[in-house]
Amino acid sequence: MKEEPQIFTRIDKENAPVDNDILDALMHEDISESIIRSYIRETLNEGVEFRELDSPLAYNRASGIKRLALCDTSVTVPPKKNDTYFAEIERWRYATKRGRRLKKPVLDELIPGVSDACIIGFLDFHSYGEDGWYIDYIKTRGEFGGQKVASRLVDEFFQRYGKPGGMIHFGKMMHPSIGYLKDKMAKQYPDMSVIGAVNF
């Protein structure tokens, strides 16, 4: 009798919920790696959706900014209080410009957060020129860094708005990771103009 693969033993010990389709696929030697990966990808993406809404943030360069948000419905815990643009943040002034303490603090600024705790990343954008789009900002919720949230947002954005002969401008790219995403999409969409200004 053929020995059971180690993966089943480990899963059984941990009593982890496993998709039966994945287990069936793993039991067949002739199953391709790409099929197994697609099963895993589908399982990981359950409860994950993209939402389009108006951005609550104000930008100097344009008005009517839209937002593409990545929502993971399994996330119900609110973001940390200091996670800018995910948690709502109040900035108070306690003294005058000359340093005299105020009797009552004054609310100087209210930075809006996200509309739902499930949002783990967002991409703000607006129309640019006759046939283009400008990416104003991309942000990942703190504890989800390193999970390719920004990459998934950019992929979805290009699928929705990228078209032959069009243009997508990545704006002022403040981090090498955004430059990498811009270069990646330029290769994937050679029939489009994919540009950005390097600021890192």
Give this prediction's pTM.
0.74
Asked if the model's pLDDT at residue 5 lies above 50, the reply is no
Phi/psi for 110 (5° steps) reads -120, 110
With 0-12 CB in 10 A as exposed, 13-18 as middle and 19+ as buried, what is 88? middle
Residue 7 structural domain: 1-46
Query: What mean pLDDT value characterizes the chain?
Result: 85
Contact 43, 22 (CB under 8 A): yes
Alpha helices in the chain (DSSP H): 6-14, 20-26, 33-44, 149-161, 176-188
pLDDT digits (tens, 9 = 90+) for 93-122: 999 988 999 999 999 999 999 999 999 999
What is the mean predicted confidence (pLDDT) over 185-191?
A: 97
Residue 159: which CATH number? 3.40.630.30
- Residue 41: partners with Cβ closer than 8 Å, 6 or more residues away: none
For residues 30 and 102, state if they share a domain. Answer: no
